[in-house]
Amino acid sequence: MSNIHTPGSGSGASHNGNSFVSRREARASNATGALPPLETVVPEHSYHGAFDFEQMVQSLHDLFERDRQVASQADSTRCGVCYLHFTLSELHYQEEGFYICENCERVLGNHKVPMLRKQQKM
């Protein structure tokens, strides 16, 4: 008995619902080895929820615009976790050697975050 797998040998591997396997088989049957266009590969699990890409881009644009405005102020520095700029009054200095914004502090809770590079306390 041989351990070598041959296509159609009845192992069931090509019919297990794995999209990687079907894409691999499609590539193997193509002379160039290139994957077929995505339109020809039918996804088994598709997401039909609403996602507004333009809203996400606009939100990021607003966030970075605000970050640039705050960064231009003399009394600002970066949060050591999210790396966005805040005024010093909006940040808390941690004994581990970095400033942290209120949101990151709330998310981290009591967890300690080791820092490779410490921020100088202002």
Q: For 24-72, what is each residue's pLDDT tens digit?
A: 555 555 555 566 565 555 555 555 667 889 999 999 999 999 999 999 9
pTM of this prediction? Answer: 0.53
End-to-end Cα distance, the chain: 74
Sign of CA dihedral 104, 105, 106, 110: positive
What amino acid occupies position 42? V
| Residues 6 or more apart whose Cβ sits within 8 Å of residue 117 | none
Confidence of residue 119 (pLDDT cuts 50, 70, 90): confident
Cβ-contact 113, 96 below 8 angstroms: yes
- What's the pLDDT score for residue 14? 46
Q: 22: burial class by Cβ within 10 Å (0-12, 13-18, 19+)?
A: middle
Mean pLDDT of the chain: 76
